[in-house]
Structure 1
Amino acid sequence: MSQQELIRQSACDVVAKLKTGEVSPVDLLDVLEKRIAEVDGKVNALPILCIERAREHAKALMRKPVSERGLLAGLPMPIKDLSDVAGVRNTQGSPIFKDHVSARSDILVERLEDNGAVVYAKSNTPEFGAGANTFNEVFGATLNPFDTSRSAAGSSGGAAVALATGMAWLAHGSDMGGSLRNPASFCGVVGMRPSIGRVAHTPKFKLDRTLGVQGPMARNVEDLALLLDAMSGEHPADPLSLPALSSSFLSAARSGNKPKRVAYSPDLGITPVDPEVAAITRKAAERFTEAGCIVEEAHPDLSEAHECFHVLRAFDFAISKAALLRKHRDLLKPEVIWNIEEGLKLTVEQIQRAEAQRVAMTARAVEFFKTYDLLLAPTTIVAPFPVQNRYVAECAGKKFDNYVQWLGIVYAITLACCPALSLPCGFTNLGLPVGLQIVGPPRGEAQVLAGAKVLEDILGLRGTTPIDPREPR
């Protein structure tokens, strides 16, 4: 099989070849190293490579019987440059940590490696994952492969671009305000924010930080489900982590289970949306009727999302970054400084109000899902924008108050504690990808994956990536 053919294979198919011995983990690293050399200079997705570490790990794995190589059986994958990989740089996209090398791996990485993942790279991210445009002072900007003058979104932009360009079969990301979902939408791949606790990680700064979660990214729903299986399960070091379910997420994706009633909302009642994006996502959502589903326009009441997220995000930044502001203010980007300072100004009354709002929105979402199996909405309110714009300042005539407000359509779902997946659902007139956000009830990943696979089959867009990076039109 040629390099090009192997790059285009699904992760599930490549894992099957690993298990039969048709290819080895070392073969795959050779293929990836060549592909990275060919295309990464055009998009800047994987700025940190650890190929030799990966080769050593691959060779150790190959000394084990195939049955003991884990779910991923030696499949290489990148880790987002916010998580620790032992012996590898972890810059967090910040000049403060540009030379930092992790002494030990995050338990997320340990679990993936125990399950047969071979880590060969770190994917680019904005500084501390702040902002949905992947650029930083250490490595520069990651570019959208569908038009290299456009943003790849963020903060898991490097991961999404690596997938879209054939530099990865699977990728790790994380998500607070859509950081998995936004780049999946902008780059024509699939990204899922799982439920709180579904993926164990090493706690930092606060045991119960629940705005951000770790999650899987892939080119299609089945591959994503496979990676979620490899990521999932409880760990004693993460007190909020959930036990693995009795049946796999991959089996849920392949089950063919169809939702009976789904809701579509162009805006969740809280945000402007670009008319072309709204039209593309609505058309995709309505195709659920071809599977015999009822599709209605509805959404739970998420009207407090902007105020709530602003406070809770700022509180999180104050807890996790105040010490950096005191010591390294001159090295932090303005948006991060603003976020930390907003957090340091908060009163207990503001935090109490925001936490109560989150409880109320989650309760309303749980009630909503007693009527609807899934909630559908645009993942992003705009198509990929020019990369030199730090963020989206306005949409459909409405100016935003700050650099994260344009993300309300995803962070409202974060606040409601729901799992959500971004599925490629079409292209703009300029050929730029658009993602449909598919949301389920808390801990409802299985029904989200099943429904997403049903719609993926109907839309027929599977296989549109990987692509070679495309010059601006």
Structure 2
Amino acid sequence: MANEELLALSAVEMRRRIGTKEISPVELLEASLQRIKRLNPAVNAVTAMCVDRARKEAKAAETAVRRGEELPLLHGLPTGIKDLEETKDLLTTYGSPLYRDFVPSWDNVMVGRVRAAGAVVVGKTNVPEFGAGSNSRNPVWGATGNPFNPMLNAGGSSGGSAAALATDMLPVCTGSDTGGSLRNPAAYCGIVGFRPSPGMVAVERRAMGWTPISVLGPMGRTVADTCLLFATQIGQHDSDPLSFPVDGAAFAEPWPVDLGSLRVAWTEDYGAAPVEKGVRATMREKVKAMKHLFRSVDKVDLDLGDVHRCFDVIRAVSFVARYREAYEKDKSQLGPNIRANYEIGANMSLADFAWAHGEQTNIFRKFQQLYRDYDLVIGPTVGFSPFPWKQLYIDEMDGKKLRNYYHWMATVYIITLASNPAVSLPCGLDHNKMPFGLQVIGRFRGDGEVLGAAHAMEQAFKGIPELARPVPNLKKLAKPVPALKSIVRHPPKLNAKAKPGLAPSAL
């Protein structure tokens, strides 16, 4: 099979053919490495790599198939790990100059579980510095470009993973999400990103273990691929007090869902998010094109409370918990986003935090009331079309200044506060002919149901041109885009010895 055909297969199909000996893990890895060599210079999605070890692992995976051994879910699949996750003997920078030479001597819990499921880790995927922001650019690796236009933003903080998936460089990639980092880049790159319910995937590096704002989760080109990875990430661990026992195997395939039985609520702005006119118009067009698929589709008006101040406080407190020592030691070594978040939090009081905790509880309870009458809530994943990566963030809409550098991500951080599981599903193109992401939000703890609904929607969308998943023109990505690495100060030392350190929290 030609490389182009092989890499275009879904991860689920790749895994099936590995099991039936139709394709070899070695063949698949080499195809991925060739694709990375050819296209990564144009999008800068994959950063540090471990090619020699990956080849040894692929060879071992091939041997296991030949021997007829029982094969785990991700057996032989080339995999990218977001560069916020510790990977044994593989450079982990968190996108920060402070960690440009940091090579951990361990895999964190999630990475270890993905490896145990047979994944062949090829390398790391790019992020903003410490995962702060929705533009995957940092002073260590440079910027990740959008596969549909490399001069535009690929989203963040899982932008490298999203771009690697969209270009078929890797079939499986991990991500994380605080204020939208699994969903925003998925929307911008035309792939699937899933924010699970807190506790489904253990997060050992969360500084405030009892705070559910940050989660780890899967990304894929399809919902089924996303489920395959998710099933291997799931599980309780003593490092995460929010984690709980759950059978990951139950999520390995999308659950069956009848779209015709679903009552759907839709919104343009979740009651409070800044959303540009073009995205609002696009959302209305998408609803018109899909409403016949469901039992009912109703527009709803939401009033969830002071969502912006609430997110400001809860997010800032987590930054204070993690970065106080680094800030007080030398704040110049931290990027502007990290400094801004820390300073916001440092100026807050215990009363502010108590208020925010109570307000989030109110937001959660108000949002759950929707599910008395509806099975799903849908809306735009992101309120703005992809913008140039040289522009760090969106700072105004319709001539009005936004609150801060992440206010433009309110469409997703509002759902973070509600704590419901949410999928960003590719849904055609927006008004600028860039990928449009539809945020599909399930009921509380309804991870299996919302993934099943998203899968059923994905299958239905294939037959509706204006809703089908867009794919980038890979031929246009054959030339390097040197500007993507123009903000790098000094290249990291790929052969550095391990440095001790704690893993920062992510957006």
Structure 1 residue aligned with 2:84, among 82, 85, 89?
82
Q: TM-score with structure 2 length normalisation? A: 0.89
1:240–1:13 distance in 2 versus 1, CA, 3 Å: same
Structure 1 residue aligned with 2:332, among 330, 333, 347?
330
**In 1, Cα distance between the equivalents of 2:52 and 2:229?**
23
Q: Which of 179-188 and 199-208 deviates more?
A: 199-208
Q: Which of 114-123 and 324-333 deviates more?
A: 324-333
* Partner of residue 56, structure 2: 56
Counting only pairs closer than 5 Å after superposition, residues 335-346 of structure 1 correspond to structure 2 as 335-346=337-348
* Partner of residue 321, structure 1: 323
1:464–1:407 distance in 2 versus 1, CA, 3 Å: closer
Q: Which amino acid aligns with 2:147?
A: P
Q: Which amino acid aligns with 1:465?
A: V
* Partner of residue 501, structure 2: none
* Partner of residue 276, structure 1: 278
Q: Which amino acid aligns with 1:468?
A: L
The answer on 1:18 being equivalent to 2:24 is no
1:66–1:124 distance in 2 versus 1, CA, 3 Å: farther
Residues 224 and 254 of structure 2 are in contact (CA less than 8 Å); yes or no, is this contact kept in structure 1?
Answer: no
Residues 144 and 187 of structure 1 are in contact (CA less than 8 Å); yes or no, is this contact kept in structure 2?
Answer: yes
User: Offset at 1:283?
Assistant: 2.6
* Partner of residue 212, structure 1: 214
* Partner of residue 422, structure 2: 420
Residues 308 and 354 of structure 1 are in contact (CA less than 8 Å); yes or no, is this contact kept in structure 2?
Answer: yes
Runs ≥4 residues deviating over 6 A = none
* Partner of residue 371, structure 1: 373
Deviation per CA, 1:208-228: give whole Å up to 9, x if none: 232110011111111111111
Residues 256 and 450 of structure 1 are in contact (CA less than 8 Å); yes or no, is this contact kept in structure 2?
Answer: no
**In 1, Cα distance between the equivalents of 2:196 and 2:296?**
25
* Partner of residue 127, structure 2: 125
Structure 2 residue aligned with 1:464, among 463, 466, 470?
470
1:109–1:259 distance in 2 versus 1, CA, 3 Å: farther
The answer on 1:262 being equivalent to 2:268 is no
1:299–1:439 distance in 2 versus 1, CA, 3 Å: farther
User: Offset at 1:252?
Assistant: 3.3
Q: Which amino acid aligns with 1:367?
A: Q
Residues 425 and 459 of structure 1 are in contact (CA less than 8 Å); yes or no, is this contact kept in structure 2?
Answer: yes
Residues 148 and 470 of structure 1 are in contact (CA less than 8 Å); yes or no, is this contact kept in structure 2?
Answer: no
User: Offset at 1:247?
Assistant: 6.4
Percent of paired sites with the same residue: 39
Q: Which amino acid aligns with 2:36?
A: I
* Partner of residue 254, structure 2: 252
Deviation per CA, 1:7-33: give whole Å up to 9, x if none: 111111101011111222222110111
Structure 2 residue aligned with 1:137, among 122, 139, 147?
139
- Determine helix, strand or coil for the equivalent of 1:248: helix
User: Offset at 1:243?
Assistant: 2.2
User: Offset at 1:69?
Assistant: 2.6
- Determine helix, strand or coil for the equivalent of 1:153: coil
**In 2, Cα distance between the equivalents of 1:296 and 1:68?**
48
Residues 212 and 242 of structure 2 are in contact (CA less than 8 Å); yes or no, is this contact kept in structure 1?
Answer: no
**In 1, Cα distance between the equivalents of 2:394 and 2:276?**
12
Q: Which amino acid aligns with 2:141?
A: F
Q: Which amino acid aligns with 1:114?
A: A
The answer on 1:442 being equivalent to 2:444 is yes
* Partner of residue 398, structure 1: 400
**In 1, Cα distance between the equivalents of 2:367 and 2:277?**
26
Residues 133 and 390 of structure 1 are in contact (CA less than 8 Å); yes or no, is this contact kept in structure 2?
Answer: yes
Residues 93 and 138 of structure 1 are in contact (CA less than 8 Å); yes or no, is this contact kept in structure 2?
Answer: yes
* Partner of residue 313, structure 2: 311
**In 1, Cα distance between the equivalents of 2:438 and 2:352?**
33
1:376–1:469 distance in 2 versus 1, CA, 3 Å: farther
The CA RMSD measured in Å over matched residues stands at: 1.9
**In 2, Cα distance between the equivalents of 1:178 and 1:337?**
20
Deviation per CA, 1:30-88: give whole Å up to 9, x if none: 01110011000011000111121222233334444555331112211100000001001
The answer on 1:242 being equivalent to 2:244 is yes
Residues 169 and 219 of structure 1 are in contact (CA less than 8 Å); yes or no, is this contact kept in structure 2?
Answer: yes
Residues 131 and 156 of structure 2 are in contact (CA less than 8 Å); yes or no, is this contact kept in structure 1?
Answer: yes
Structure 2 residues without counterparts, runs of 5 or longer: 482-507
**In 2, Cα distance between the equivalents of 1:89 and 1:157?**
18
Deviation per CA, 1:73-112: give whole Å up to 9, x if none: 2211100000001001110000000000011001001111
Residues 220 and 462 of structure 1 are in contact (CA less than 8 Å); yes or no, is this contact kept in structure 2?
Answer: no
Q: Which amino acid aligns with 1:332?
A: L
* Partner of residue 29, structure 1: 29
* Length, aligned pairs only: 472
**In 2, Cα distance between the equivalents of 1:443 and 1:148?**
37
**In 2, Cα distance between the equivalents of 1:150 and 1:108?**
30
Q: Which amino acid aligns with 1:41?
A: P
Residues 172 and 215 of structure 1 are in contact (CA less than 8 Å); yes or no, is this contact kept in structure 2?
Answer: yes
**In 2, Cα distance between the equivalents of 1:37 and 1:67?**
32
**In 1, Cα distance between the equivalents of 2:259 and 2:5?**
31
* Partner of residue 4, structure 1: 4
**In 1, Cα distance between the equivalents of 2:397 and 2:449?**
32
Q: Which of 272-281 and 187-196 deviates more?
A: 272-281
**In 2, Cα distance between the equivalents of 1:344 and 1:389?**
27
Residues 197 and 242 of structure 1 are in contact (CA less than 8 Å); yes or no, is this contact kept in structure 2?
Answer: yes
**In 1, Cα distance between the equivalents of 2:259 and 2:253?**
11
1:145–1:469 distance in 2 versus 1, CA, 3 Å: farther
Q: Which of 219-228 and 461-470 deviates more?
A: 461-470
